[in-house]
């Protein structure tokens, strides 16, 4: 735990705000890449490459075509960041207390359990907005509204509450392993940097230097996150595009029968670039906000 930080309600509140900023801003920033990734997952032959996706969308739809779904992205991932980072800090303290004198020995287990619990909560906040976002981004032009309010109303009218949460199971399958890797890999990478490369006490380095370590550790963790969670991400994209009222399990089986194991890896290249950049920036924004609030950067202890 950061040395001088008192982990009270004020601390957790600041972490929640940092999480809102880190997830909401970064996911909105990479919205154009997310559009290409989702469309390639649903239709692998649509674009030849990420670059072709950008040029095709800009040529056929203009700049606005690269911003489809930005509003549910901003709202949904801000809500997710609130839960992901804020509750992670809470659960981390809970598990540290539960492990007691053995906390340092089982620190990585604490990171994994804390992040998993936090993500389960965070995804309940994200799921409705993710459903709207994916439908907006992957539906043929004219087949589904590209306005948030209209899109939300359309799903509610046609599918009810289930339309917003039918992707929650696959979302957990995508996000919980992703977040467990994201937090555990990040924390251990930061610790390795200060243990094996920059061996002076962490607080002797400038805040800007510490934030550089934060970004590098986050980017490295993001690569592993993309690999671990990609198959479930493909399933979420295809599942949310469909408007079927069949049970989710039946839909998942049908989708897998259509795309096979290989199809679960469609769009991986775009997602590695997106998630690596995203994760590095998220941790940098999160820690930058903490530093601005007078708190310590995350990790190394």
DSSP state of 147: S
pLDDT at 2: 41
Cβ-count burial of 102 within 10 angstroms (0-12 exposed, 13-18 middle, 19+ buried)? exposed
pLDDT at 18: 97
pLDDT at 127: 96
pLDDT at 53 > cutoff 70: yes
* For the ranges 49-63, 70-84, 150-164, the one whose mean pLDDT is highest: 70-84
pLDDT at 1 > cutoff 60: no
- For the beta carbon of residue 230, count every other beta carbon within 10 angstroms: 22
Angle at 20 between CA 126 and CA 187, to 5 degrees: 95
For 233-252, write each residue's pLDDT tens digit. Answer: 888 778 877 666 677 788 88
What radius of gyration, in Å, describes the C-alpha atoms of the chain?
20
Cβ-count burial of 196 within 10 angstroms (0-12 exposed, 13-18 middle, 19+ buried)? exposed
pLDDT at 220 > cutoff 60: yes
For 13-50, write each residue's pLDDT tens digit. Answer: 999 999 999 999 999 998 998 899 888 878 888 898 88
What does the alpha-carbon distance between residue 237 and residue 270 come to, in Å, rounded to a whole number?
A: 14
For 59-90, write each residue's pLDDT tens digit. Answer: 999 999 999 999 999 999 999 999 999 999 99
For 167-190, write each residue's pLDDT tens digit. Answer: 898 889 888 988 999 999 999 999
CB contact at 8 A, 136 and 146: yes
User: Which residue, among 185, 186, 170, has the nearest Cα to 229 in the 3D structure?
Assistant: 170
pLDDT at 268 > cutoff 90: no
Determine what percent of the chain is predicted with pLDDT higher than 90: 62
- Measured in whole angstroms, the distance separating CA 206 from the mean position of its chain's CA atoms is 28
pLDDT at 133 > cutoff 90: yes
pLDDT at 291: 96
- For the beta carbon of residue 277, count every other beta carbon within 10 angstroms: 18
Least confident of 73-82, 90-99, 271-280: 271-280
Q: If you average pLDDT over residues 89-111, what whole number do you get?
A: 93
pLDDT at 169: 87
What 3-state DSSP class applies to 301?
coil
As a whole number, the mean pLDDT across the chain is 90
**What structural domains and CATH numbers belong to the chain?**
9-292 (1.50.40.10)
Q: If you average pLDDT over residues 268-283, what whole number do you get?
A: 85
């Amino acid at each position: 735990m950061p040395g001088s930080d008192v982990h009270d309600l004020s601390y957790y509140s600041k972490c929640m705000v940092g999480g809102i900023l880190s997830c909401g801003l970064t996911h909105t920033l990479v919205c154009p890449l997310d559009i290409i990734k989702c469309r390639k997952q649903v239709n692998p032959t649509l674009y030849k490459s990420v670059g072709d996706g950008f040029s095709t969308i800009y040529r056929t739809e203009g700049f606005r075509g690269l911003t489809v779904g930005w509003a549910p992205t901003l709202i949904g991932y801000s809500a997710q960041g609130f839960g992901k980072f804020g509750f992670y800090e809470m659960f981390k303290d809970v598990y540290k207390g539960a492990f007691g004198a053995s906390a340092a020995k089982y620190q990585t287990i604490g990171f994994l359990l804390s992040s998993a619990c936090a993500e389960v909560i965070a995804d309940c906040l994200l799921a409705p907005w993710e459903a709207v976002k994916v439908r907006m981004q992957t539906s043929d032009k004219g087949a589904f509204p590209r306005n948030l309010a209209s899109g939300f109303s359309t799903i509610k009218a046609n599918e009810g509450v289930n339309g917003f949460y039918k992707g929650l199971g696959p979302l957990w399958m995508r996000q919980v392993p992703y977040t467990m890797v994201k937090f555990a890999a990040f924390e251990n990478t930061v610790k390795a940097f200060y243990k094996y490369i920059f061996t002076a006490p962490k607080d002797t380095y400038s805040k800007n230097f510490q934030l550089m370590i934060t970004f590098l550790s986050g980017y490295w963790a993001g690569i592993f996150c993309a690999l671990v969670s990609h198959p479930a991400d493909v399933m979420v994209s295809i599942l949310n595009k469909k408007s079927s009222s069949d049970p989710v399990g039946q839909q998942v089986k049908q989708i897998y029968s259509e795309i096979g194991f290989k199809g679960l890896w469609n769009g991986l290249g775009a997602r590695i670039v997106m998630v690596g950049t995203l994760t590095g920036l998220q941790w940098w924004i999160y820690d930058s906000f903490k530093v601005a609030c007078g708190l310590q950067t995350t990790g190394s202890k």
